[in-house]
Amino acid sequence: MRASDTDSRFRHVPWRRALPAALSGILLTASFPPLNLWWLAWIALAPLLIAVKGMPPGKAFTLGLVAGMVHYLTLIYWIVVVLGHYGGLNVLLSVVPLLLLCAYLSLFPALFSLLYGLFGRRPLPALLCGACAWVGLEYVRTVFITGFPWCLLGYSQYGNLHVIQIADLFGVYGVSFIIVLSNGAAFQLWERLVRKSVPFPKWETLLTALCIGLTLVYGHQRLAENERTDGTSRKTVKTAVIQGNIDQSIKWDPAHQSGTLDIYEGLTNGTTDFDPDLIVWPETAVPFFFQDQGDYGQRVIALAEASKSALLFGSPAYERTEGKLRYFNRAYLIDPEKRSVQHYDKVHLVPFGEYVPLKRFLSFIHRLVPAAGDFESGGQVRPLPLEGVSLGVLICFEAIFPDLARRVTGRGADILVNLTNDAWFGKTSAPHQHLCMAVFRAIENRRPLIRAANTGISATVLENGKIEASTPLFQEAVLTSTLRLPSPENTFYTRYGDLFARLSLILALLGAVWGIWRRRRP
């Protein structure tokens, strides 16, 4: 498509249509952290649906782009902070990647708007196919290329415990489906209010009310069941999360390595009275190659042995293969009783942060972003076993990918542990958003989750998704918890994964084909 064609399309979209679309973008962002106006998500898409009503496919697509750009520019503005302040890129130049990423993400609400118009004039098929289309597009966004499922719609409800329990059946996509269904019903009720000739959407309202009701009943039942099992004699694990609050600007300076280790040693020694079974430090808490077993490495081992607690921490690592060095973002687990050291290498790396995709063709990226890493994927998702408990480690933004947590749980993880360094985000909304997504990994797999973040937010999340405790941002902190190990039985979602999302995508495509056929029929 030529630029002139796009400009013409925008010129021919009336402002009275564009303003409701933009309002949807604002309402969507407000439903996420840090504002946490979660109830807005249930009506946020209604203005967009009002705007695209009766519009031809091209203009409906454009209105979806408007909603998407407003939403993502206000949601992930922190990209400028990451690339500009911490990534070493010129602040003005860092706006360009933000705009490109937002333009890409806006294609998904744009396609949703286009598809909604194709589903025909019958309210009930449009309602169901619309919800399926949104979920199907979220699934595509999660798996396409490297995937970027940041703040899918269902994540806005992370604090609404009764609603989000269905994630152990359908994942976060099930919550998104219910929300879009509610938006579609709200849109149809609005049409009835402003146009008396439109019949009351009784079946659509009944279906939406039934789905929401069943969701709440299931949530109540699961939460009540969780309370009953809390009183049973399940094995417990005492954990201590250490938040070192190391400034990103000095983190990798060799002159500060000893001081960094002093901070972690001091905070760890402060847990002696609690006598934890497991101590957790964040991603790359050890800013040197621990595997070399130098003086600093020996200090870490000695600390684990003195505490008599297993120690899980992040550190960069390398392997020399055929004369070539390969670097990894690694988590180490020291078991002082067995005098053993295990490790897990991060599988899902951050594109343009930890590696450069298509490096052969994009070699200039390193000149643009000096902080861009050169790590390689570990290639294997596996838990790290301890005596009587197995840890499923998720490093940094691996926690926003449901399938990784599902796979490591299916292979025996009893507790999920997210090691992250959110210092890159600065004092923005990103650390809050990152945490709200990690919450769903606990519910989907019915496993407690420990989150250790360098500058916060560190947290302990129960298997029902309740954030039991959390730390403030940019403070040294110690977070202690006693976690009950869950039932070894795997959830429906752990066993079957994104089955619901895939079915939704198929139904949406079938609905689109049906809509196109009806439009072309004489």
Q: Which residues does the annotation mark as catalytic?
A: 283, 346, 396
What whole-number distance in Å separates Cα of residue 374 and Cα of residue 386?
A: 31
Q: How far apart are alpha carbons 510 and 133 in whole angstroms?
A: 10
Whole-angstrom distance, CA of residue 499 vs CA of residue 518? 29
Residue 400 phi/psi, 5-degree rounding, is: -95, 0
**Residue that the structure tokens 């847990």 belong to:** 271
Closest CA to 350 of 101, 113, 69: 101
d(C-alpha 32, C-alpha 430), whole Å: 10
Question: Cα dist. 177→37, 137, 183, 200, 369 in Å?
Answer: 19, 11, 10, 22, 38
Q: Parallel, antiparallel, or unpaired: how do β-strands 415-420 and 389-395 relate? A: parallel
CA distances from 278 to 274, 308, 392, 417, 447 (A): 11, 9, 13, 11, 16
Which sign does the torsion angle of CA 273, 278, 284, 288 carry?
Answer: positive
Q: What CA–CA distances, in Å, run from 130 to 28, 118, 122, 303?
A: 17, 10, 12, 56
What's the rounded Cα separation, in Å, for the pair 55 and 115? 12
With the CA atoms of 249, 252, 258 and 264 taken in that order, what torsion angle do they form, in degrees rounded to the nearest 10? 70
SS3 (DSSP) at 462? coil
DSSP class of 488 = S
Side chain identity at 10, as an amino acid letter?
F
Q: Please check whether residue 279 is in contact with residue 240, taking contact to mean a CB–CB distance below 8 angstroms.
A: yes
Read off φ and ψ for residue 395, nearest 5 degrees: -95, 125
Place of tokens 């408007």: 66
The beta-strand segments (E) located in 177-322 are 236-243, 278-280, 310-321
How far is Cα 366 from Cα 372, in angstroms, rounded to an integer? 6
